[in-house]
Amino acid sequence: MTREISEQLTAFQRLIGLAPWGVKLGHGSFLTLEFGKKITQEFRGKSHTHGEWHLWLRSCAWRIQREGRVLIASGDDREVIERAISRLEWGALRKAVVDSLALDVRLEFADHLELLAFTNHRYRYEQWELFKPEGRVLTANAGGVLAEEAAGGLERGADAPR
């Protein structure tokens, strides 16, 4: 892993101790998690609330597990996913690991709850995006390509306009 990539991935370490809120299923199997204080913005005449940190799992597979037991996965029926997500009690993030080869993510929360996101494409698609409080977004593309750039407007989630 290059030093530049390593420095960019430390962004996940800044989430340690924060509990996600507003976890929701978006388009298809897109999953979004908000972290930190709530921020409200106006966009096209509507009010939108998001976290100062926003994780958007996009074109990747993911699963949520506890102590080796899968609770829910991105390929499950939409209704099953929504019901399971609404029942989950997310504790504070305790550990974040990002694989340097494929940029897969493992987030370990309190009470042994884990969220794993892993690439299911070799090229072309954005796996996940981490929007940062300073107005930047860290994007993991399939094939292990990591980019950081200025975030544009309210592009913060599965249902936000692009």
The domain spans of the chain are: 3-150
Model confidence, pTM? 0.87
Cβ pair 98, 9 in contact under 8 A: yes
- Tracing tokens 């694989």 back to the chain, one arrives at 99
Instruction: Record the tokens describing residue 80, joined without a space.
Output: 């099953």
5: confidence class by pLDDT, cuts 50, 70, 90: low
Mean confidence (pLDDT) of the chain: 88
Per-residue model confidence (pLDDT) at position 6: 67
Tokens of 160: 């936000």
What pLDDT shows up at residue 120? 86
pLDDT at 72: 97
Q: What is the pLDDT of residues 44-99, one digit of tens each?
A: 899 989 999 999 999 999 999 999 999 999 999 999 999 999 999 999 999 999 98
* Dist CA 128 CA 142 (whole Å): 9
Task: Read off the pLDDT of residues 143-162 as tens digits, 9 standing for 90 and up.
Answer: 888 889 998 754 444 444 33
Region 14-43: mean pLDDT is 95
Q: How far apart are CA 20 and CA 132, in angstroms?
A: 14
d(CA 97, CA 109): 12
* H/E stretch holding 41: strand 31-43
Helix then strand count (H, E) for the chain reads 2, 11
